[in-house]
Amino acid sequence: MARRIVDLSLTISDNMPVQDAFQRPVYVTLQTHESSLAFGAGTAEDPHTSSWKYLGMVEHTGTHVDAFFHMNPRGQTIDQMPISMFFGKAVCFDMTHVPDLGEITVADLERAEERTGIRVDGHIVLLNTGFHRRHYPDKRLFDLNPGLTPEATHWLADHGSLVHGVEGPSTDIMRTNLFPSHRVCRDRGITHYEWLVNLEELVGVGEFTFFGVPLRLDRGTGSPVRAFAVVEE
């Protein structure tokens, strides 16, 4: 059986779009191979050169996962959460019928179960709305993303889904400033990935294995991840 890898991560770049509450990331070259010649490493016949860059960013920039602590002051920080949460069996549901500023409902999730033939039972559930491809990198996207209803978020928790994932900057409609899905995650002890990309490639493939392991950040409120899926074909 062949395996296909689907990269689900947004490229981190200098000054990339973020919501107004965040500082834009700084990702700049500090040393080039040419400038590092001055260190005199290696030998005259075979000099050793190197290059490095500086990265400074809010943990919730680009493709990332929220720590429990991000939503709950008594919750675990990212370094305290079990690493087993961040990989496992997964399914991607097609939600492309949900428009900008629309809501993903319980009925949407139940219909997606019927279409895929996969009952959510502890799965990592990814939700493809097509939002990223429609709008990125237009900064107006922060006022347009769809969200999950609180009832849909409860439904995921009731079906043992400890982690779910969406395209775009949030599982909630940002412009309302109400964050109902985040508040359900806080109360139910579940969390989510935000700003996944390429989810279109996972619609209709059935069950697959998802990986999105965070950095081990001291008291981290979340972490960028290199998210990807392994699809058996």
Q: Is the separation of the CB atoms in 63 and 95 below 8 Å?
A: no
Residue 175, in any domain of the structure: yes
208 lies in the same domain as 162? yes
85 lies in the same domain as 42? no
Segments forming the whole domain that contains residue 46: 26-56
Cα separation, 181 vs 168, whole angstroms:
14
Q: What are the tokens at 20?
A: 């107004």
CATH number of the domain bearing residue 202:
3.50.30.50
Residue 83, in any domain of the structure: yes
44 lies in the same domain as 127? no
Name 42's bridge partners.
47
149 lies in the same domain as 113? yes
177 lies in the same domain as 215? yes
Number of structural domains found in the chain: 2
Supply the pTM of this predicted model. Answer: 0.96
Non-local (6+) Cβ contacts of 141 within 8 A are: 17, 131, 135, 168, 169
34 lies in the same domain as 80? no
Q: Is residue 146 classed as helix, strand or coil in its secondary structure?
A: coil
Q: What is the pLDDT along the chain (233 residues), one digit of tens a residue?
A: 789 999 999 999 999 999 999 999 999 999 999 999 999 999 999 999 999 999 999 999 999 999 999 999 999 999 999 999 999 999 999 999 999 999 999 999 999 999 999 999 999 999 999 999 999 999 999 999 999 999 999 999 999 999 999 999 999 999 999 999 999 999 999 999 999 999 999 999 999 999 999 999 999 999 999 999 999 99
35 lies in the same domain as 91? no
Question: Considering 12, 35, 56, which residue would you say is the last residue of a domain?
Answer: 56
51 lies in the same domain as 103? no
31 lies in the same domain as 136? no
